[in-house]
């Protein structure tokens, strides 16, 4: 096959009317075709179309045309381009010691905070434009953990207290809650276990959906199940509908969540390391692109409103798959604790500049197709932008 045929095949295959980049390549390939049809007997004998498609500089020689190369971007040039801070969600770790404020050693600049510390910490960030947070409960008292993760939806527990407080103190702030049991279970797994130590999917789904509902009732705008039990999206959606909350509570599913070594600092922060075994039986294998696609399609069918991919930078192809499969839905990506720690470590070792890498990694995640990024860099971005 000739080069020009290949280019137009690619352009047409990827054509999506909502996607400016594919419209550009579509237009370019049309130009190549009409040129070919008027100047040559057959498309295959034309080589000039290759030269046309290699004229790239004009597309990025001007500040404005540079911005046109991204569907989402970090640097605001034009008002109508979706931009910071609307697309950033900041993770918060909330402990059951109301006055606690302890740095997390493996997660630079991040702290575990008690509810009493939240308002003073967040007020300046909200003033700088912080729009959204995702809450993780971190019970520090060992007695708070049991086999069922009872503390997860304790009305006096840190997450429900924080939802109420933040809703009343920052009416504009969008509150998402991570929904999982691993922070609250004595065994540290993301669900309820059978006697033999394996995950009981049906019981876990029932429990997880109760927890999600409790957060929604307390005032969360969005619930985000990260447990990965099969069928939890549908179960949560049904409970939200039954409670009359489905019209105002969004369901963001951690749909394609891969197991691996990038969650270490988070488990440090949340004290959620499994006491035995690992999470491989309910998180995706890193090579499992097909499984990720099936999980995304399954979650769309079960009623998810936002599809999330996690981690982000090692899974950019999956983010693009998610955007293709969920074209009409927002796609989120979580730049997880290990990615964040790695960037800090690289900067500290003099490998690259922290800010430059924060931008480059985030631009890559957006370019891959995400419109929402969960990131520990959010406070920095609010200053940098
Ligand atoms: N299930 C809980 C949960 N929700 C988000 C993360 C990871 C976030 C991060 O690493 O920043 C985890 C940890 C895990 O699954 O082990
Ligand atoms: Zn979990
Ligand atoms: Zn397991």
* CATH number of the structural domain spanning residue 167: 3.20.20.70
Residue 64 lies in a domain: no
Please check whether residue 71 lies inside any domain of the structure: no
Q: Any idea which ligand is nearest the CA of 190?
A: 2
| 253 backbone φψ class: left, alpha, beta (φ>0; ψ -120 to 50) | beta
Evaluate whether residue 65 is within a structural domain.
no
Q: How many CB atoms lie within 10 A of CB 101?
A: 15
Q: Is the backbone peptide bond immediately before 85 cis, with ω within 30 degrees of 0? A: yes
Does one domain contain both 41 and 114?
Answer: no
Residue 35: what pLDDT?
A: 34
**144: in domain:** yes
Whether 157 is in a domain gets the answer yes
Q: Do 260 and 344 have their domain in common?
A: yes
261 annotated as ligand-binding? no
The series of mean pLDDT values per 10 residues for the chain, 385 residues long, is 27 34 38 37 41 60 62 60 76 96 95 98 96 94 90 96 98 95 93 92 97 97 95 95 92 95 89 81 90 96 94 98 93 97 98 95 93 95 89
Q: Is the separation of the CB atoms in 253 and 280 below 8 Å?
A: no
Helix intervals (H) in the chain: 3-14, 20-39, 48-53, 57-60, 63-67, 115-127, 158-169, 201-218, 232-242, 264-270, 289-302, 316-325, 337-348, 354-368, 378-384
Burial of 66 (0-12, 13-18, 19+ CB in 10 A): middle
Which ligand does the CA of 264 lie closest to? Answer: 1
75 occurs within a structural domain:
no
Give the residue from 15, 13, 36 showing the smallest Cα distance to 24. 15
| Residue from 54, 41, 42 nearest 7 by CA | 54
| 124 and 46, same domain (yes or no) | no
Structural domain count, the chain: 2
Same domain, yes or no, for 18 and 134?
no
Whether 145 is catalytic is no
Query: How many Å apart are CA 28 and CA 30, to the nearest integer?
Result: 5
Q: Which of 128, 310, 348, 355 is catalytic?
A: 310
Residue 190 among known ligand-binding residues: yes
Cβ density class 9-38: b for 16+ within 10 Å, e for less: eebeeeeeeebeebeebbebbeebbebbee
> 155: CA distance to ligand 1 center in Å?
23
Q: 3-state DSSP call for residue 39? A: helix
Asked whether the beta carbons of 325 and 293 are under 8 A apart, the reply is: yes
Q: What is the DSSP letter of 353?
A: -
Active site residue 310: yes
Look at the pTM and tell me if it is higher than 0.90.
no
In a domain, 292, yes or no: yes
Please report the pLDDT score of residue 271 as a whole number.
Answer: 79
> Are 237 and 189 in a shared domain?
yes
Together in a domain, 19 and 148: no
Q: Within this chain, do residues 224 and 183 fall inside the same structural domain, yes or no?
A: yes
In a domain, 11, yes or no: yes
Q: Are residue 249 and residue 366 in the same domain, yes or no?
A: yes
Q: What is the CA radius of gyration of the chain?
A: 23
**Beta-strand relationship, 111-113 and 101-103:** antiparallel
Distance CA 69, CA 135 (A): 33
Residue 45's domain comprises: 3-55
Which atom of ligand 1 approaches the CA of 283 most closely?
Answer: 15
256 with 378, same domain? Answer: yes
* Ligand 1 site residues, Cβ closer than 6 angstroms: 178, 180, 182, 190, 226, 263, 266-267, 279, 336-337
Tell me how far apart the alpha carbons of residues 17 and 154 are, in angstroms, rounded to a whole number: 47
Answer yes or no: do 369 and 288 share one domain: yes
Question: Whose structure tokens read 């929604």?
Answer: 216
Instruction: Please indicate, yes or no, whether residues 176 and 282 belong to a single structural domain of this protein.
Output: yes
* Per-residue model confidence (pLDDT) at position 8: 26
Final residue of a structural domain among 14, 32, 55: 55
Residues 36 and 115 reside in one and the same domain: no
Taking a C-beta distance cutoff of 8 angstroms, is the pair 93, 113 a contact? Answer: yes
């Amino acid at each position: 096959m000739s080069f020009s045929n290949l280019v137009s095949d690619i352009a047409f295959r990827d054509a999506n009317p909502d996607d400016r980049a594919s419209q550009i390549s579509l237009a370019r390939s049309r130009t190549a075709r009409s040129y070919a049809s008027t100047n040559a007997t057959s498309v295959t004998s034309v080589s000039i179309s290759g030269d046309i498609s290699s004229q790239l500089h004009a597309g990025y020689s001007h500040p404005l045309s540079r911005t046109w190369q991204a569907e989402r971007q970090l640097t605001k040039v034009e008002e109508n381009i979706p931009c910071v801070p609307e697309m950033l969600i900041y993770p918060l770790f909330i402990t059951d010691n109301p006055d606690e404020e302890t740095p997390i050693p493996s997660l630079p600049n991040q702290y575990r905070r008690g509810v009493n510390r939240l308002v003073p910490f967040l007020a300046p960030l909200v003033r700088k434009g912080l729009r959204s947070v995702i809450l993780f409960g971190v019970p520090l008292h060992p007695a708070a953990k049991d086999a069922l993760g009872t503390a997860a939806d304790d009305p006096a527990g840190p997450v429900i207290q924080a939802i109420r407080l933040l809703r009343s103190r920052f009416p504009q702030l969008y509150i998402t809650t991570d929904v999982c049991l691993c922070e609250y279970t004595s065994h540290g797994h993301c669900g309820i276990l059978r006697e033999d130590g394996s995950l009981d999917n049906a019981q876990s789904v029932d429990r997880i959906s109760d927890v999600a509902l409790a957060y929604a009732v307390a005032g969360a705008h969005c619930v985000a199940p990260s447990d990965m039990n099969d069928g939890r999206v549908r179960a949560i959606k049904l409970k939200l509908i039954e409670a009359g909350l489905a019209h105002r509570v969004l369901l963001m599913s951690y749909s394609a969540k891969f197991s691996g070594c990038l969650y270490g600092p988070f488990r440090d922060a949340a004290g959620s390391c499994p006491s035995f075994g690992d999470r491989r039986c309910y998180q995706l294998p890193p090579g499992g692109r097909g499984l990720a696609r099936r999980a995304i399609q399954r979650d769309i069918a079960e009623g998810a409103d936002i599809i999330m991919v996690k981690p982000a930078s090692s899974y950019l192809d999956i983010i693009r798959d998610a955007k293709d499969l969920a074209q009409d839905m927002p796609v989120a990506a979580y730049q997880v604790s290990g990615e964040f720690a790695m960037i800090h470590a690289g900067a500290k070792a003099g490998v690259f500049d922290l800010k430059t890498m924060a931008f480059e990694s985030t631009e890559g995640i957006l370019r891959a197709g995400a419109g929402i990024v969960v990131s520990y860099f959010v406070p920095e971005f609010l200053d940098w932008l």
